[in-house]
Amino acid sequence: MKEFIQEARKNWLDAWNHKAFRMNFILGIVLLAAAMILTSFFFNYIQDNKNGVVLNDWVLQRLPSIDVSVVIVTLMGSAAILFALRGIANPNILITFLFAMILQLITRMITISITGFFPPPGLVVLRDPMGSMLYQYRFITRDLFYSGHTAMLCLLYFCSFKRGDKYYILFAAMSVAFLLLIQHVHYTVDVLCAPLFAFGCFWISKKIIRFQNAHLVGIESHIE
C-alpha cells in the first residue's frame, strides 16, 4: 500500500507540473460539473414531456420482468471502484475518462431529445442511489436512448489498460446490459447502441486532449 501511495503521488506531481495537464484537469472538472447540473434539469424536463413513442421490442416481450437492481448496482460500483483505484496511480486515464464522460452526458441529452421514447411496458424501478441523486431523487424512466449504465461501463473498459481489469469490466458491461433488459429499464436498441456511442466519446476525448496538449506546447514554445 505504501508503494502504491508513493507511486500515485509521484505520478500526480509529475503530471501536475505540465501546464497542459493542469489546464485539461481543471477544465474537465468544471465542464463535468456543468454537464451534470444541466443533465439533472434536462431529465426532469424530459420526464414530464407528454410526447413520445413506445417501441415494439421483440426481445423484451420474451423476457421476464424482474427486479435485479442490487446486482446492477453491485456490478456498476465494483467496476467503478476498480477503475478509480487504477486511475489514482495513472492521471492520464482519468483525464481521458473525464472528457469522455462529459461527451457522453451531452450526447445522451441530444439522442434522448431526438428519440423521445416512452418507457418499455413492464418496467421495474431501478433502485440506483447515484442515479437518484443526479435526477434530484426522482426516478426517471425516459432517459432511454442510449443506455447510460451500459455506456458508462464501456467507457471504463475503453479507458482501462490492464488486461485483467478489462476482462472484468467487459463482463460487468455485458451483464448489466442484459440485466437492464431483464428489468425492462431499457429497450434492446438502447443497450446495443451504447457501446458505439461510448467508443465515439472515448475516441473524441483522446483527440481533444491531444489537440489541447499540442496547442499549449506550441504556445509555450512560441513564448520561449
Domain ranges of the chain: 2-223
Average pLDDT over residues 48-72: 93
Residue with cell 500526480: 12
- Residue 223: per-residue pLDDT: 40
Supply the pTM of this predicted model: 0.89
- Residue 132: per-residue pLDDT: 60
Cis peptide before 146 (omega within 30 of 0): yes
DSSP assigned state of 120: P
- Residue 61: per-residue pLDDT: 94
Task: Give which of 203, 169, 4, 188 is closest to 100, Cα–Cα.
Answer: 203
Grid coordinates representing 26 are 481543471
* CB within 8 Å of 118: residues ≥ 6 apart: 52, 53, 54, 142
Q: What is the pLDDT of residues 8-29, one digit of tens each?
A: 788 888 888 888 888 889 999 9
